[in-house]
Structure 1
Amino acid sequence: MIRLDNISKHNGQRVIFIEASAALQKGEKVGLVGPNGAGKSTLFRMMTKQEEPDEGQVLVDRGVSVGFFSQDVGEMSGRSAVAEVMNGAGAVSEVAAELAVLEAAMADPEQYDQLESILERFGEVQARFEELGGYALDGKAREVLHGLGFSQAMMDGDVGNLSGGWKMRVALGRILLMRPDVMLLDEPSNHLDLESLIWLEQFLSGYDGALLMTSHDRAFMNRIINKVIEIDGGTLTSYSGDYEFYEQQRAISEKQQQAQFERQQAMLAKEVSFIERFKARASHAAQVQSRVKKLDKIDRVEPPKRRQAMSFEFPPAPRSGDVVASLQGVDKSYGSKVIYKGLDLLIRRGERCCIMGVNGAGKSTLLKLIAGTTQPDAGTVTIGSNVKMGYFAQHAMDVLDGSLTIFETLERAFPLANQGALRSLAGGFGFSGDEVEKSCRVLSGGEKARLVMALMLFDPPNFLVLDEPTNHLDIGTKEMLIKALANYEGTMLFVSHDRHFLAALSNRVLELSADGLHQYGGGYTEYVARTGQEAPGLH
């Protein structure tokens, strides 16, 4: 359906693709993977004809409809979320817009003298709307928005009043309702809570078109895709199978390439040694000459590309008392919305509690109460003895000073630390060499999140309170964080919509619901086994 034929692309001096080829066939669900900056977004822009390759061609089969979702959703306002989603459905959306205008005209006293002609036109437009399946479309649009977590009020309210994250869901809903022949989805799992993520997973699994997507959520990818296209070093390599299979195959081929490289290096060393040893002897001149020619003709095996693996190890944190945090009789409301009534909770040393609950259940509020950034309306929140807390808030990145570089930010936070320790801290979080001189102003969301983590973890707390720490992080950084936190000896309380992260790190589940707090011993995996669901809002 879409073919990339020997494409080459440069961005200034930087080579993004060199004679790369790949294809997206009917019914394929493909995960596009590769390190940050490898060219995933450039590939999407070429497939949607927003950019052209410098060489080669991008071929889209005639008559194939393509829907593209990117993180850059543009301006939205003046329409309801439902109307905005239906707007992507072609002719029917124009008819729906005219219907809305005519409905307003019928109710306008100033247009009363034209009522007859308005009614006549309304009848014509309404018939056309029915013919195009418009009324069914409204229902389908609401179904998609409901799946993406919208309440009825949000569906009918002005889309302009929504936050950036919710506008992204509207833009995603538009593509899903359109059901094109090919969907190109750039990070569709960003900004979704666990319930919406699982709904989207089921929707895409049942979608019968071709799909190409990127995602930092490995569990999400794993359940949808049946093929991987990897971008690395300007080339495109295809692997059949899901993400787990791709990782295994990549490791095997790296191992084989390394062994081939080492064998060739040993053979070359032997030949060079012979040439050096006998080049001055006339009796061996023919043999030496023959071996020199042989060496010139050999195709050199490249060693496998080594991806920079980030790793961070926690220095030991001071030991806290047995009781880390205690909430007794806590009430909390926002206006007329009651979040908790008489909430009791005890967190003990060494527990790794993940908090589950639908949107608005009070997950972030619980973390804010424990971190002391919000106060209860009644009851007490007590932090235990010798507890040193590290709090990662959802908007933690907003506190970075844009005028400072990464290294200056670390120096300001830890004035007594030596430069070597700070550079190794930065390296552990993926900022190596000159990257530490980057200004915080130009950092991506993922880079900012990594820097905030580094600031929080250098002088380790013994109680980590983390609100969606994996948002914006790529798969490699998440793996590093999981590895580091798995060896962390302190206590954790966290919210995350990443199932891989939840399963790897939790040993207790706190589920917030309308009828109070439900507690489950054992981690997220045990919670799923016991409740039969991956998230509280699924039925």
Structure 2
Amino acid sequence: MIRLDNVSKQHGHQILFIDASMGLQKGEKAGLVGPNGAGKSTLFRMIVGEEKPDDGQVAIDTGMTIGYFNQDVGEMSGQSAVAAVMDGVGPVSALAAEMAQLEAAMVDPEQADEMDAIIERYGEVQGRFQELDGYALEARAREVLAGLSFSQERMDGDVGLLSGGWKMRVALARILLMRPDGMLLDEPSNHLDLESLIWLEAFLKDYDGALLMTSHDREFMNRIVGKIVEIDGGSLTTYSGNYDFYDQQRALNEKHRQAQFERQQAMLAKEIKFIERFKARASHAAQVQSRVKKLDKIERVEPPRRRQAVQFEFRSPPRSGEDVANFRDVHKSYGSHAIYTGLDFQVRRKERWCILGANGAGKSTLLKLIAGDAKPDQGSVSLGSSVKMGYFAQHSMDLLDGDDTIFETLDKAFPQAGQPALRTLAGCFGFSGDDIEKTCRVLSGGEKARLVMALMLFDPPNFLVLDEPTNHLDMATKEMLVAALADFEGTMLFVSHDRHFLAALSNRVLELTPEGVHQFTGGYTEYVERTGQEAPGLHPG
């Protein structure tokens, strides 16, 4: 269906692929993995023909349709979200647009003379529209948008007024509605809440075409893919199994390779020692010669390429009092929409609360009330004694000074820390060598998120309030963050759509539903076991 045969590709001085090959059959679902900049997006672009390989070939079955979702959604405005989604389906949406024009022409007195021709054309267009099941298309478009958490109002509103994250969902819905023979999805899980993510998971499991996708969400990847294609050092390696299997297999391969390398190094050292010892003796000349020849012929084992994984270690935060935060009879509304009516909620020391709730249930509002970014309409929100809060919000990244470098940003925040300590801190969050001279203006979303984390965690707070902290992070940084937070001695309150993060770090669940607020002791895993659902209002399919 999709094949890459001995493909080589270079961007400037950077070699992305050398004689790389892979294949994807109908019905196969594969995850594409590799470090940032390894060439994942380039591979997608070569498959859809936006880029050509320098050497080798990319073969697609004749007549195969491919839907490609990437993070660059382009300009969208002047139509409703539903119309924008239907637009992606090609002939059907063109026919729908022509039908609308012909319907307008039928009631236009100035076109009365051409009425017979208009009606005849309308009959042809409508017939073709019916053949393509056009009337069902709008219902399907609405179904897909509802799955991605769109309200009716948002579906019918101007797509140009939506935020970047919601436009991403429209672009994704377009591909899903197409149901092409093959789908290439570059980070489809990025801007989704938990409910949308679980819906998309079910949709993709049910899809019978070929799927190749990247995702920083380990759980999402595990549940969908049956094989992993890894880009590493210019080559493509295929592993059968999900992401966890690939992770174990890769570690095992690395171990074997290291052992092989060490055995060969020991053997080479022994041979070289013999040659050095006896090269001056005429009686051993033949033996020395034969060993020199043998060494020349040996194919050298390369040591495994180790992925740089830096661990961040928390310094112990100062101890807070037992009462960390208190909500007493809190009321909060936005316009006529009541978010809380009389919320009572208490956070105690060492509790790790994850907050679950559908879009608009008030998850971020709760964090804003605690951080002081929002005020209750009635009631009180107070912090306990000796509480030092660290707050990570999506807008934290907008507060970085674009002209400052990474190092200057850290140095301004911690002038007493000294250069070695700040370089180590930057290294833990993936900024090594010259990276720390980059200005904040040129940083990607993931880099900004890592820098904000570094600022927040260096002088450790004892109460962490985190709003979607993993949104822009790659898998390696997420693992590092989960490992670091697992050892954190303070208290946590957080919102996340990453189920691996939720399961690893929570020991309490606060569920916000239209029927009221529910508190569960036990973490996210226990919540799923007890309620039979992974998110409020979603029952297992």
Q: Do these two structures clear the TM 0.5 threshold for a shared fold by scoring above it?
A: yes
Q: In the TM superposition, what is the alpha-carbon distance from 1:102 to its structure 2 partner?
A: 3.8
Task: Measure the CA separation in 2 of the matches of 1:135 and 1:162.
Answer: 26
1:153 to 1:260, Cα distance in 2 relative to 1, 3 A: same
Is 1:500 the counterpart of 2:500? The answer is yes
Equivalent position of 1:15 in the other structure = 15
d(CA) in 2 for partners of 1:328 and 1:119? 67
Q: CA deviation at 1:138?
A: 1.0
Residue 538 of structure 2: aligned partner? 538
When residues 119 and 61 of structure 1 are mapped into structure 2, their CA distance, relative to the original with a 3 A threshold, is closer
- For 2:424, the equivalent position in structure 1 comes to 424
CA pair 103-166 structure 1, distance change in 2 beyond 3 A? farther
AA aligned to 1:181 is D
Displacement of 1:34 in angstroms is 0.7
Report what 2:365 is aligned to. 365
Counterpart residue number, 1:415: 415
Distance (whole Å) between structure 1 residues aligned to residue 378 and residue 116 of structure 2: 61
Alignment CA distance shift 1:6-1:325 (3 Å): same
Cα drift, residue 310 of structure 1: 2.2
Q: Is the 8 A contact 1:343 1:516 kept in 2?
A: no
Contact 1:330 1:380 (C-alpha < 8 Å) held by counterparts: yes
Give 1:349's aligned residue. Answer: 349
Distance 1:14 1:328 in 2: 58
Which runs of 5 or more residues in structure 2 are unaligned?
A: none
CA deviations over 1:484-531 (Å, ceiling 9, x no partner)? 000000000000000000000000000011122110010000000011
Partner residue in 1 for 2:100: 100
Which residue is equivalent to 2:84?
84
C-alpha deviation, 1:123, in angstroms: 4.6
Residue 84 of structure 1 deviates from its aligned partner by: 1.1
State the shift of 1:438 in Å.
1.4
Moved more, 6-15 or 459-468: 6-15
**Distance in 1, Cα, partners of 2:329 & 2:111:** 60
CA RMSD for the aligned pairs?
1.5
1:362 maps to a residue whose letter is G
Tell me the distance in 2 between the aligned counterparts of 1:192 and 1:422. Answer: 34
- Range with bigger deviation, 265-274 or 22-31: 22-31
Q: Match of 1:466, SS?
A: strand
What amino acid is the match of 1:12?
G
Separation (CA, whole Å) in 1 of partners of 2:70 and 2:353? 34
CA distance in 1, matches of 2:145, 2:85: 8
Amino acid at match of 2:489: E
Distance 1:264 1:8 in 2: 31
Secondary structure of the residue that 2:500 maps to in structure 1?
Answer: helix
Counterpart residue number, 1:306: 306
User: Residues 374, 475 of structure 1: CA spacing in aligned structure 2 closer, same or farther, 3 A cutoff?
Assistant: same
| Residues 19-418 of structure 1 mapped to structure 2, 5 A cutoff | 19-104=19-104, 121-418=121-418
- Give the C-alpha shift of residue 215 in structure 1: 0.2
Deviation at 1:122, TM superposition (A): 4.3
CA shift in 2, pair 1:108/1:369, >3 Å? farther
Deviation at 1:99, TM superposition (A): 2.4
Once the 2 structures are TM-superposed, how far is the Cα of residue 287 of structure 1 from its aligned partner? 1.1
Show structure 1 runs of 5+ residues with no match.
Answer: none
- Three-state SS of the structure 2 residue aligned to 1:425 is helix
SS of the residue corresponding to residue 67 of structure 1 reads strand
Amino acid at match of 1:369: L
The alpha carbon displacement at 1:421 in A equals: 0.5
Aligned-partner Cα distance in 1 for 2:94–2:170: 18
Q: Return the offset for 1:172.
A: 0.6
Code of the residue aligned with 1:268 in structure 2: it is L
Counterparts of 1:252 and 1:312 in 2: how far apart (Å)? 25
Superposition TM-score, scaled by structure 2 size: 0.97
Say which SS state the counterpart of residue 35 (structure 1) adopts: coil
Residue type matched to 1:455 in 2?
L
Give the letter for the 2:302 counterpart: E
| Counterpart contact for 1:508–1:522, Cα < 8 Å | yes
Match of 2:88, SS state, is helix
- Deviation track 1:11-70 (CA, whole Å, cap 9, x = no partner) reads 111111111111111211000001111110111111111111111111111111111000
Give the 3-state SS of the residue equivalent to 1:253 in structure 2.
Answer: helix
Q: Is the 8 A contact 1:73 1:168 kept in 2?
A: yes
Query: How far has the Cα of 1:126 moved from its partner?
Result: 3.0
Change beyond 3 A, Cα 1:112–1:55: same
- Using the alignment, how far apart are the partners of 1:302 and 1:132 within structure 2? 56
Q: Secondary structure at the match of 1:216?
A: coil
* 1:395 aligned counterpart, secondary structure: helix
> Structure 1 residues 110, 322: CA separation in 2 closer, same or farther (over 3 Å shift)?
farther
One-letter amino acid matched to 1:389: M
Q: CA–CA distance in 2 between the matches of 1:64 and 1:204?
A: 18
**Distance in 1 of aligned mates of 2:146 and 2:102:** 28
Give the CA deviation at 1:133. 0.7
Q: Deviations over 1:98-117 (max 9, x none)?
A: 22334455677887898787
* Aligned counterparts of 1:375 and 1:416: Cα–Cα separation in 2: 34
Distance across 2 between alignment mates of 1:408 and 1:288: 59
User: Secondary structure of 2:49's match?
Assistant: coil
CA contact (8 A) 1:186 1:215 kept: yes
2:498 maps to 1:487: no
CA deviation digits over 1:177-198, x for unaligned, max 9? Answer: 1111110000000100001100
Change (3 A) 1:116 1:163: farther
Q: Secondary structure at the match of 1:185?
A: strand
Q: For this pair of structures, how many residues does the alignment match? A: 539
Quote the Cα distance in structure 1 between the aligned partners of 2:113 and 2:153: 34
Work out the CA distance in 2 between the residues paired with 1:101 and 1:397: 46
Separation in 2, partners of 1:111, 1:537 = 53
Tell me: CA distance 1:118–1:334, structure 2 relative to 1, closer, same or farther (3 Å): farther
SS at match of 1:57: strand
Kept after mapping to 2: 8 A contact 1:387/1:462: yes
Q: Is the 8 A contact 1:2 1:58 kept in 2?
A: yes
Q: 1:44, 1:513 → 2: CA distance?
A: 40
| Contact kept in structure 2, 1:40 and 1:231, CA below 8 Å | yes
Check whether the contact 1:38–1:232 (CA below 8 A) recurs between aligned residues: yes
Structure 1 residues 120 and 56: CA distance shift in structure 2, 3 A: closer
Q: Provide the rounded CA distance (Å) in 2 between the counterparts of 1:413 and 1:112.
A: 74
Structure 2: how far apart are the matches of 1:102 and 1:510?
Answer: 54
Cα distance, 1:119 vs structure 2:
5.8
